[in-house]
Every structure is written in C-alpha cells, then in structure tokens.
A and B are shown apart, each in its own frame.
Chain A
Amino acid sequence: MSTSRTASTRRSARRRTAFIAVGVASALALSACSAPASQEQGGTVDWELTTQTAAPSGDIDSYSWASYAEPYTLDYAYAFDYADNQVLANVCESLLRLNPDYTLSPGLAESFERPDPLTWVYNIRSGVTFHDGTPLTAADVVASMNRIIDPAVGSAWYSVYQNVVSIEQTGDMQVTVKTGIPDSQFNLGMGGSAGVIESAATLAAAGTDYGNSSGLVNCTGPFSIEDWQQGESITLKRNDNYWDPELTAKSGEVKFVFINDSTARVNALKSGDVDGAWMIPFDAVPQLRDSGAGDVYFGMSTAVSNLVVSNLDGPLGDPNVRKALLMAIDRKGVLNAASKGVGEISDVHTTKSVWGGASDAAVTEAFDNIENYPYDIDAAKKLVEESGFAGEELTYVTAPIGSDFNIIAQATAAAAEAIGLKVNIKTVTPGAYTALFSDPSAREGVDLFYTVWYLSSPDPLEMYGVLRTGEFSNYGNWSNPEFDAIVSEALGVDDPAARSELTAKAQVIANAELPWLPLFTGPMPMFMGERVTGVAPSIAFLYYPWAATIGAR
C-alpha cells in the first residue's frame, strides 16, 4: 500500500506552498524541470530486470546512500513509507523475513505453527541479542506486537492486526496470537514492519521519543544506528554480534543522506559524492548511464500505477464510462512520457511478482482470462454516448510531486475530452494530496486521482482486501457483494494455492468492473556507483536488510 510517496521517486523538493506568498507555482514547477538534461525529452530507455548484482569482491569500510527524504520516524509502528522503511529494514528485524524474490522465510521466529484457523504460534529464535547486548525474549515480542494494537500508539500497521484478539507468551520462547476470524494475511504481514521486534526495556525507557532522532531504536538487525543528524543523514554501524552469518554486513558503516531535490540527488550520484540510491527518476537514467559513475538497475516491484476512482455517484459510477475512460488513455504513450517507457501496460491491479505461492491455474485465470482495454477512442466515445453522461465534468486532483503526476493528469484530461467528457484538473500541495488517502472530507467532489500502489506482503489478496465494501482505502466506496464474498472467503483459506484460485476470481471481477483504472506496472529503478555492488534489486528493500549485502566492487 502506499500513498503519495510511492511517487516520490521523482519527487521534487522544490515544493513551495501557499506560505511563500509568491504563488508562482508554474514558474517554480519550471525549476523542477529546468535541470540540465543530457538527453532530449521523449526518448525511451532500454531496460531489463535484474534479480541479483555481482557479488562484492570483499568488505568496504563505508559507503553512502541517497534517500529522497528524511524518515519521519524509525518507530516501526509508524514506518510505512519508502524513506522510513529503507533505513529501518537494515536495523530492525521482524518475526519473518521478506526476501528480495518476495518469499517469506524465518526471521526472529525460527518457526511458526497454525494449530487451528484462529491461532498462530511463533517459536522465537534463541541466542539473538539486541544492539545493546541484551538477549531477545518472548516478552520483547509480546510488548512489540501489542504496540500495534494500542490505540494510544495509533500505528499505521493496525490493519494487519485488525482481527487480532490476543497476543500472549505461551512458553519460554513462544508467543501465541489469536484472531477473531480465520486470517491468512496476519502471518504474511509478519515479514513487514508490523512484525518488528524491539526490546521492551528500550520501549519503556524511550517513551514518546522512541524512534525519533533523540530516542533512536535498539533492535537486532545487521546494523545499529550510530548517529542521526536531523535533516542531514543517518549513519548505521555494523553489528558484529549479528545472529545470521549469511547476512552479516559487508561494510563497516552505511551513511544515508537525505537529498529532497531530485536534480540534486542525481548530481550527487553522477559526481560520485554518493554511492547509490533507490528510486532514481526514470528521466535521469540516460544521464546517469552517460556519466560513467556506476550502473542503473531495474529490480522487481509490486507496484501498479492506478487512477483511483473516488466518486461513484458521478459519471464514473457507470462501469461503461470507467471502461471508456481507460480505453481513451493512450497508456503506451503515457508510459513512454512518464517513465521513459520503463514498465508494462496492465489491465489488473496486481503484478505477477506477488503471485509466487499461486497455482498455475490461478495465474492463468488472473492474467490471461481477463478483459483487455486497448486504446480505442471510437469505441470509448460510443460507450460514453450510450451512457448518457456526455458533456459531464470530472474533477481530477493532482500535486506537483513528479513529472509522471503531471503527464498522467494531462493525458487523462485529454482522453476524457476526446470522448465527450470534461475534466477539471485541480492541483494541490503534496500534503493535501496525501490527505486524499486518509481524509474522506478531502475526497469530496473529487472523481479521480493518481497513485502508485505497492503491496507489502507476498499475496495479491492484500490488494483486493482493500476494495471490499466499507474498507478504509476503498476510496470510491465501490461495492460488489460477489467480490466481497470471494475475498472474505479467501482471507480464511490457509493454503496459498487454494487461496490464489479465489484471489484470481476477485482479480477477474475487479478487472471487469474497474473500481480503479489500472494503467501500468514499473520496475524499481536503482543506481549503484562504481565502488559498490552486491544488492538484489527489489522492492523488498523496504523490509529486507539489503544494505548488509553491499560491499566493495
């Protein structure tokens, strides 16, 4: 899941607001794209997926990594964002480990059992110590997990725990979680921040400063936090007592530097000031390649770019109008313009990468037995005419977050105009755009907005759970009883293959009904300078200790 910052790849820090009364948004937007570009606009770049980069030749003392933003917090209960998680993943560990290929393996729980549909039993790994040298106990696990359901904490990960009724220590190194209804997704969520274990003593001692730059964190990962310079950098130090020899850090330290401005970030990579970064802007790929400073890689991602339909009381309440709008968008052209052609058109809301546990039949059903929506203005125009909504106006909200936001807004407006609808584009600040995702009043009178939605667990059901009637993130209040029944049934099914067959049915319904309009998928772009290598490029960098795998080239 994600909100605005999924687009932060190309986020410009030159975000000015109503505050600086010189409201020259347009002139300032110019600043964001007046960077010296080494290539002409409109060209596409060659790309292929990389699952693993070359192994390091040895350890490296220190390397640096650029992030588009400073973490808000390193408190796992709130870390739900690229900026927070890419740092935290190397410091704090979860009960399970989400690997770069999006499989789950044991983490701080060396095994788990499901004695009955309402019970998950976790056997905690012994011999693990926190960064302060204290041993990991079952009590730490209970304390860490209970924070997610504590309303006073107000965790961003609450939805993973929404069916949990109790978390108790049931043995020397055993913790048992009971849910009110069978919930296959809870355990899958234990590979993300929702499953992070922190020392109970640290939580108690740090209080409200836990996870901020004064309180820091004390976890079990391959790195500990050495220093957090507010607004500037976070430095991680190798944990020499790390329990897993496979993932012992290949560097003495990693320094994360925060460079909000995308041009500044690319400059720092080109000049070799910084050794690498996730989510480099697609339009910077040619100049980064030309610079000779290192290599651009494209890793597996679970993200799908969508237009969220946030109002079903207007013209878009008619499924045929939604289909018409999707068919009127030249998605290939948009992909070329917005992401330099890196990615693929998608008619569904999930990527194949999260269907790892699915049966072949389910994957075929979910990706082959579906409707395609090819670019066809005439057919689309006809659908709108038949619907009786021709001439109606839609409101599209966007924000100056990246060039893709702008391109997709313009393309959607042009598509709607071409089929007899009108579009009013409203540009708001990134903060106001973020509010669309959590504040229903912010969505009043809004028909469409763009999002790049990624999944944090290796199961496509995470996506379709969101689109059930009454769900928090079902922004258009789309409702389909048959879909709800299938998804709810699937949530209770333990076997991944059997569950995937139900999820495939849900995907087919969503593909036919289009509660959101899927546009395309895109890989995770990253850059590594000539000093370093070793990472497996993947969106799992949000939860997997990727920085430990990087050493000297």
Chain B
Amino acid sequence: MMLARRIGGKLGSLVLTLFLVSLLVFFSRFLVPGDPVSFLLRGRKPSPEAVALVTEQYGLNLPVWQQYVNWFTGMLQGDFGRSLQYRQDVSVVIGERLPVTLMLVVMAGLIIGVLGLTSGIIASLNRGRPLDRSILIGLTVLGAIPSFVGAIVLIAIFAVQLGWFPTFGSGEGFSDMVYHLTLPSIALALVFVVLVGKVTRSSMVEQLGREHVEVATSRGLRRGTVIRRHVFRNAIGPILTVSGLLVAGLLVASSIVEAAFGVAGIGSLLVQSVDRLDFPVVQAIVLLVVTAFVVVNGIIDVLEPWIDPRSAAGGSAR
C-alpha cells in the first residue's frame, strides 16, 4: 500500500517534469539563431518557389504554439517528426543509434561499478594506510583525464600500436559490439570511477565508525559478515544517489567518446544535429535523456527503502 502510493506519487511528478521539460525543449529552439530551411538548402540556389514549399512541408510556417501542439500530440502517438538532415522519421534515425549508446553506457556503468566500488571499499578498509592513499591518488589522477584525452591515448596504444582493438565503429552482432565498445566504454568510465570510488570510500568510512558496527564486531560476528550486513548495506544510499546522477553525465559524455571512436550513437548524433539545426532530432534526444534520468532516479527513490530501511522510517541516510 505504502509502496503503491509512493510509486503513484513518483509517476505524477515524473509526468509533470516531462511536460515542463517538453515545453522547455521545444521553445529553446527559438533562442538558437539560424534558419533550418537555409540549412536544408546547404548553400545551393533553390528554385524561387522551393523555399516556401519546403517551409510548409516541415510545418515551419505554422504559429509557434500550433507547432508545439502538433509535435506533442505526434509524440504521444510515437511520431517524433522528420529529421531535416536525413529526410527520414526521427524514430528511425534515433532507433538505429540507440542500441549502441545503451550498450556503451551499460558497459561503462559496469566498469564504473566494479572499479569504483572495489577501490572505494578497499580504500575504506585500509583507511589511513599507504594503500588507501595510493588508491585515492590513483583515482584523482584518473578523474583528471578528460574523456577525449583518454580516448586518444587508448586508441594510440591499444588500437594503433598494439592492434588489439578496432580503431572505430561499433561492430555487428552482440559479441562484436562488446569488442568494439571495450575501449570507448573504458574512456567513458574513467572520469566517473573517481566519483563512485570516493563516495563509496567516504560512505563506508562513516559507517565503519558507527556504534552498531562495533557492537556487531564485539559480538564476535565475522568481519566479512559485519562489513556486508552492517557496513555496506548502510553505506549504499549515497552510492545509489550518485549512480542516479551518473546516468545523465554518462549520456552527455558519451557524445565526446562516440566522436573520438567513430561510434554512431545518440551522443554524436546530438552534437551533429544541434550544429545542423535539426530540431526534431535534438528535441527527441533531449527528451529521451531527461526521461532516462528522471526514470532512473525515480526507480532509485522507490528502491531505496528496501535497501536502506532507515530512509523508509523517515530517517536520513546520512
């Protein structure tokens, strides 16, 4: 019952958020200088009547509010309009590229999870010792490398010099895709590992110092059990919160990594579409990213009490 109410409330605020975002996304395009039709012509001399007809074809001659209503009602029916640059349905243009980006984000997420959690946990258990300090220094150094620099270095070493990995593209079929996306996902993960690692470490350190942990230890419970059941379970709240925030960061950062590795995903499409004034595509991608962000964080909110009983009881996770 409690859970149903929680989820219902979440859904309500999710829908409202997305509606407001849709307004923002749609009308922000009018702040960008430039005329999409002139881009469609790409510097070529049009026939005298063509400009008016092209404008009409894309509905750019309608009043602004009507353009918004058409766009919004179209989306509810799964019609995101037509891409100006590719002269094709936006759903097709994005649909073809979405799997690659999702795969890239999932792979990067796994790397971030594994490396971030383990380094954070190991550092916290060795708090104050040289190992802790070297992990912290290592994380900080990794975090300071911008994605594109990481990408360039990885390509130079592992793709060009050693030839272990392909230099570009996303492959065909599942295993080939994993192989192609290995370097890009590492490049994407680097910056974020430090965040998860440091949050994990500080959250664990805080829990390790708590009374109930000392009580559990003095009761003679094994260290592993204590760490698992008393420390880590309580430390996971902040880690989850940060992970939720990462989703948006990963999607944005993916554009840079995708460009460097010649991977055709949503990120590189977004950058390219902004430049080419391909508004239907930009609007759809931004909505997609925001939706993903809101949904993931919504799910984390709903799940949190299951993992960390204190937040359900109204206590703070701090």
List A residues at the B interface (Cβ < 8 Å): 1-4, 13-20, 27-28, 31, 34-36, 70, 72-73, 75, 78, 80-81, 149, 151-159, 162, 208-209, 211-214, 229-233, 257-261, 263-265, 267-268, 270-271, 273, 429-432, 434-435, 437-439, 441-442, 471-473
Q: Which residue of B lies closest to A151 (CB)?
A: B49
CB A336 to nearest CB in B, in angstroms, measures: 26
Q: Which residues in chain B, 262-276, are within 8 Å of chain A measured between CB atoms?
A: 262, 264-265, 268-272, 274-276
On whether the beta carbons of B262 and A212 are closer than 8 Å, the reply is no
Any A CB within 8 A of the CB of B155 = yes
On whether the beta carbons of B38 and A442 are closer than 8 Å, the reply is yes
On whether the beta carbons of B275 and A31 are closer than 8 Å, the reply is no
Q: Given A80-B44, A257-B168, are A431 and B277 neighbors across the interface (CB < 8 Å)?
A: yes
Q: A14-B256, A20-B255, A154-B54 are in contact. List 13 more A-B contacts (CB 8 A).
A: A2-B43, A3-B43, A16-B255, A149-B47, A154-B53, A209-B88, A212-B88, A213-B86, A229-B96, A257-B168, A432-B34, A438-B43, A438-B44
On whether the beta carbons of A231 and B96 are closer than 8 Å, the reply is yes
Please indicate the chain B residues that have their CB under 8 angstroms from the CB of A232 in the complex: 169-170, 264
CB B162 to nearest CB in A, in angstroms, measures: 10
List B residues at the A interface (Cβ < 8 Å): 32-35, 38-54, 57, 82, 85-89, 92-93, 96-97, 146, 148-149, 152, 155-156, 159-160, 163, 166-170, 172, 252, 255-256, 259-262, 264-265, 268-272, 274-277, 282
On whether the beta carbons of B35 and A439 are closer than 8 Å, the reply is yes
Please indicate the chain A residues that have their CB under 8 angstroms from the CB of B272 in the complex: 13, 15, 260
Taken together as a complex, chains A and B put the C-alpha atoms of A275 and B47 apart, in Å, by 40
Secondary structure dominating the interface of A: loop
Contact of A438 among B42, B57, B159, B166 (CB under 8 A): B42
CB B315 to nearest CB in A, in angstroms, measures: 36
Please indicate the chain A residues that have their CB under 8 angstroms from the CB of B159 in the complex: 267, 271
CB A479 to nearest CB in B, in angstroms, measures: 18
Please indicate the chain A residues that have their CB under 8 angstroms from the CB of B265 in the complex: 231
CB A545 to nearest CB in B, in angstroms, measures: 23
On whether the beta carbons of B87 and A34 are closer than 8 Å, the reply is no
CB B50 to nearest CB in A, in angstroms, measures: 4
Taken together as a complex, chains A and B put the C-alpha atoms of A435 and B35 apart, in Å, by 8
Taken together as a complex, chains A and B put the C-alpha atoms of A16 and B148 apart, in Å, by 12
Q: Given A152-B53, A435-B38, are A158 and B274 neighbors across the interface (CB < 8 Å)?
A: no
Contact of B271 among A19, A156, A214 (CB under 8 A): A19
Please indicate the chain B residues that have their CB under 8 angstroms from the CB of A156 in the complex: 41-42, 44
23 pairs, A vs B, C-beta closer than 8 Å = A15-B259, A19-B270, A19-B274, A31-B152, A34-B149, A73-B86, A151-B50, A153-B50, A154-B46, A232-B170, A232-B264, A264-B168, A265-B168, A267-B155, A267-B167, A268-B167, A271-B163, A273-B167, A429-B274, A431-B39, A431-B276, A437-B42, A439-B35
Please indicate the chain A residues that have their CB under 8 angstroms from the CB of B96 in the complex: 213, 229-231
Taken together as a complex, chains A and B put the C-alpha atoms of A209 and B43 apart, in Å, by 23
Q: Which residue of A lies closest to B266 (CB)?
A: A231
On whether the beta carbons of A231 and B274 are closer than 8 Å, the reply is no
CB A143 to nearest CB in B, in angstroms, measures: 18
Please indicate the chain B residues that have their CB under 8 angstroms from the CB of A271 in the complex: 159-160, 163, 167
CB B107 to nearest CB in A, in angstroms, measures: 18
Contact of A158 among B35, B38, B44, B259 (CB under 8 A): B44
On whether the beta carbons of A154 and B170 are closer than 8 Å, the reply is no
On whether the beta carbons of A158 and B45 are closer than 8 Å, the reply is yes
Q: Which residue of B lies closest to A263 (CB)?
A: B152
On whether the beta carbons of B264 and A231 are closer than 8 Å, the reply is yes
Q: Which residue of B lies closest to A429 (CB)?
A: B275
Q: Given A20-B255, A151-B49, are A259 and B168 neighbors across the interface (CB < 8 Å)?
A: yes
Q: Which 3 residue pairs across A and B have the least CB separation, nearest first? A: A231-B264, A437-B43, A230-B96
Taken together as a complex, chains A and B put the C-alpha atoms of A156 and B40 apart, in Å, by 9
On whether the beta carbons of B97 and A72 are closer than 8 Å, the reply is no
Q: Which residue of A lies closest to B28 (CB)?
A: A19
Taken together as a complex, chains A and B put the C-alpha atoms of A264 and B148 apart, in Å, by 12
Taken together as a complex, chains A and B put the C-alpha atoms of A534 and B47 apart, in Å, by 40
Please indicate the chain B residues that have their CB under 8 angstroms from the CB of A153 in the complex: 50
Please indicate the chain A residues that have their CB under 8 angstroms from the CB of B47 in the complex: 149, 151, 154-155, 158, 162
On whether the beta carbons of B33 and A261 are closer than 8 Å, the reply is no
Taken together as a complex, chains A and B put the C-alpha atoms of A312 and B42 apart, in Å, by 24
Taken together as a complex, chains A and B put the C-alpha atoms of A212 and B97 apart, in Å, by 15
Q: Given A260-B259, A264-B260, are A434 and B152 neighbors across the interface (CB < 8 Å)?
A: no
Please indicate the chain B residues that have their CB under 8 angstroms from the CB of A158 in the complex: 44-47, 50
Contact of A212 among B34, B86, B148 (CB under 8 A): B86
Q: Which residue of A lies closest to B265 (CB)?
A: A231
Please indicate the chain B residues that have their CB under 8 angstroms from the CB of A4 in the complex: 43
Please indicate the chain B residues that have their CB under 8 angstroms from the CB of A260 in the complex: 259, 262, 268, 272
Q: Given A208-B87, A267-B160, A439-B38, are A261 and B260 neighbors across the interface (CB < 8 Å)?
A: yes
On whether the beta carbons of A213 and B88 are closer than 8 Å, the reply is yes
Q: Given A31-B148, A34-B152, A264-B155, are A211 and B87 neighbors across the interface (CB < 8 Å)?
A: yes
Taken together as a complex, chains A and B put the C-alpha atoms of A1 and B44 apart, in Å, by 9
Please indicate the chain A residues that have their CB under 8 angstroms from the CB of B43 in the complex: 1-4, 434, 437-438, 473
CB A393 to nearest CB in B, in angstroms, measures: 22
Q: Which residue of A lies closest to B255 (CB)?
A: A20
Q: Which residue of A lies closest to B47 (CB)?
A: A158
Please indicate the chain A residues that have their CB under 8 angstroms from the CB of B57 in the complex: 152
CB A512 to nearest CB in B, in angstroms, measures: 26
